[in-house]
Amino acid sequence: MFIRAFLVVYFERRGSLAREGGGLEILRFNKMDTSKEAIERIEPHQEEDIFSKALEPSKATPHKIDYERDRKEYIKWIKETTPSMASKYISKLDKYLKGKKANTPAELRKLIESIPPTKSGNPDRHAYNAIRSYINFLVEKGKVKKSESIDFKAVIPNIKSKARPETEKIIKAKDIVNIIKDVKGTKPEIIHARRLFLKLLAFTGLRGKEVLALMNQFNPKVIDETFEAFDLPKEWKKKIAVYDLERVKIPSRKHETKRGYVAVFPIELVDDLITYQKSSYRLTSNSIRKDEMLNNSDKAKDFALFRKFVQNFLNNNVMSKVPNPPADSAHLIEFLQGRAPKSVGGRNYRQNVQNAVRIYYYLIDDLKKALHILEL
C-alpha cells in the first residue's frame, strides 16, 4: 500500500480566547503520519452546551408585597417610628396580609377588597392605614421605589375619621356620673380599678393610654419630687397631686405635642392609686374599652369626651375664679392636657407647668362639686 508523506497543519481555537474569537493554536504532526493517525491525535473540541442552560428555570423574582417575608423587620421598624400604633398595625397585617403576596397595584387591590368591614359596618380604616404603613416601610428599606409606592397607595381606600359635630361633643357631669356607676366587674378590685380609671380621666383630662400608664406605673414618691422639681407651693399638696408624666413610659406618637407632660388630680385619689398598686389586678389597653367596662356601653358617651368636659370646665371658669389669670389661659389649659408643646406662650417648660397647675389648683374645688364622683 502506498503511503504518501505530507505535513498536516491544523488550526484550533482553544480556551477563553476561542470563545472571544481569537487565539488560534498551530498543531504540527510528523511527516510520515497518515491522515487517519493525525486525526486521532487531534483532541476533540469541547463545545459549551448553551441549549441546556437556556432551558434551566430562572430564579423566581421576589414579590414586592410580601409581609410574611418582612414581618420581623417591619415589627422592629414600626415600634421605633410609631410605637403607639405598632400593636394595632401588626395585628391587622397579621390578620389580612400574612401569607399573601402582591406584585402589582391590581393584585394588592384584590387583597384589600377581601378585608371585611368593622362590627359597626364601616370600612376597616386601621387595616388600610396598616397596609399604608407597611408600604412606607418598604420604601424606607429600599425594597420598593418611591414611584411604585405611589401606585400601590392609590388602590388603598383613604378613610378619614369624621369630626364629630359640636352637638355630639356635649357631655355633662351627670353623664360621667352615670358611666362610673355603670361599671361592671366580677371582683371588687376590678370594679375599683375601672372606676378609678374613669375618675382620673374625668379629673385630669388626659388620654386613656396616659391614665392607664400612670395607674400601672404609679409611685407616690414622684409626687413629692415633681413639686420640688417645678418649685410648686407645698401647701398645694393639701388639695392636689401633681405627677411628672415624663417619669412614666407612655407610647408616644410622631408629634411631640400629642402627649401629656404632667397629671394633676385631687389628692384624694392618691390613696386609691396606692390601693390599686397593692392589688393583683391590672388594667390593660383591652380592658379599658367601653364595651369591656360597662353594662350598658351602647348607651354611654365615649370616654374621649371626658377630655372635652375638663377643657370646657376650666375654660369657662378660669377668668372668673382664678386670681390674676394669665392672658393665654386657654393655651395653658391645652398644655395641661397635652394638646400644646412644652414652649407654648413663649415661656420655658417649668413656667408653663407652674402656671397651668396654678389654674387647676384654684378650680379643683369647683370641679369636684360639679362632678360628685370621688365617693363612688
Backbone angles phi, psi at 183, to 5 degrees: -60, 140
pLDDT at 253: 55
Query: Is residue 157 very low, low, confident or very high in pLDDT (cuts 50, 70, 90)?
Result: very high
DSSP letter string, 139-150: HHTTSS-HHHHH
Higher pLDDT pick, 19 / 123:
123
Alpha carbon distance 260, 275 (integer Å): 24
40-44, 159-163, 217-221 — which is least confidently predicted? 40-44
Q: In this structure, what are the phi and psi dihedrals at residue 95, rounded to the nearest 5 degrees?
A: -80, -40
- Contact in structure between 195 and 180 (CB atoms under 8 Å): yes
Helices (H) and strands (E) in the chain, counts: 17, 6
Task: Calculate the dihedral angle through the C-alpha atoms of 316, 361, 209, 202, rounding to the nearest 10 degrees.
Answer: -50
Confidence of residue 56 (pLDDT cuts 50, 70, 90): low
Cβ-based burial of 26 (10 A; exposed 0-12, middle 13-18, buried ≥19): exposed
Return d(Cα 39, Cα 130) in angstroms, integer. 73
Whether 269 and 196 have beta carbons less than 8 Å apart is answered as yes
Give the mean model confidence (pLDDT) for residues 128-147: 95
Query: Which of 243, 247, 261 has the alpha carbon at shortest distance from 339?
Result: 261
**pLDDT tens sequence across 261-274:** 999 999 999 999 99
pLDDT per position as a tens digit, 271-286: 999 999 999 999 998 8
- What is the rounded average pLDDT of the residues 28-42? 52
- In percent, the amount of the chain with pLDDT more than 90 equals 68
Q: 36 or 324: which carries more pLDDT confidence?
A: 324
pLDDT computed for residue 58 by the predictor: 54
Q: With cut-offs at 50, 70 and 90, classify the pLDDT of residue 81.
A: confident
Reported as a pLDDT band with limits 50, 70 and 90, residue 18 is very low
For 118-133, how does the pLDDT look when each residue is reduced to its tens digit (9 = 90+)? 887 889 999 999 999 9
For all residues of the chain together, what is the average pLDDT?
Answer: 86
Query: CB 181: neighbour CB atoms within 10 A?
Result: 12
CA–CA separation, 373 vs 195, rounded Å? 9
Residue 43 has pLDDT above 70, yes or no: no
Each residue of 165-176: pLDDT tens digit?
766 678 999 999
Full DSSP string of 326-347: -TTHHHHHHHHTT-S-TTGGG-
Phi, psi of 111 (to 5 degrees): -65, -40
Quote the pLDDT of residue 315. Answer: 96
According to the model, what pLDDT value does residue 20 have?
45
pLDDT for position 340: 86
CA Rg value for the chain: 37
Of 60-74, 145-159, 180-194, where does the model show the most confidence? 180-194
164 vs 335, higher pLDDT: 335
* Its pTM surpasses 0.95: no
Q: Between residues 343 and 6, which one has the greater pLDDT?
A: 343
Please provide the distance, in angstroms rounded to a whole number, between the alpha carbons at the two ends of the chain: 129
Task: Please name which of 183, 170, 126 lies closest in space to residue 305, comparing C-alpha atoms.
Answer: 170
User: How sure is the predictor about 57, in pLDDT bands with cuts at 50, 70 and 90?
Assistant: low
- Distance between CA atoms of residues 319 and 330, nearest Å: 10
Cβ(225)–Cβ(249) below 8 Å:
no
- The model's confidence at residue 11, banded by pLDDT at 50, 70 and 90, is very low
What pLDDT is stored for residue 119 in this prediction? Answer: 83
Residues 6+ positions from 338 with CB-CB distance below 8 Å: 206, 207, 210, 257, 258, 259, 260, 261
- pLDDT at residue 193, rounded to an integer: 98
- Sign of the four-CA dihedral 50, 53, 59, 61: positive
Whole-angstrom distance, CA of residue 278 vs CA of residue 281: 9
Q: Please determine, for residue 109, whether its predicted confidence score (pLDDT) is greater than 50.
A: yes
Report which secondary-structure segment, H or E, holds 25: strand 24-28
Which grid coordinates belong to 146?
418611591
Reported confidence tier of residue 260, pLDDT bands at 50, 70, 90 = confident
Task: Report the amino acid identity of residue 99.
Answer: G
Return phi, psi of residue 341, to 5°: -70, 170
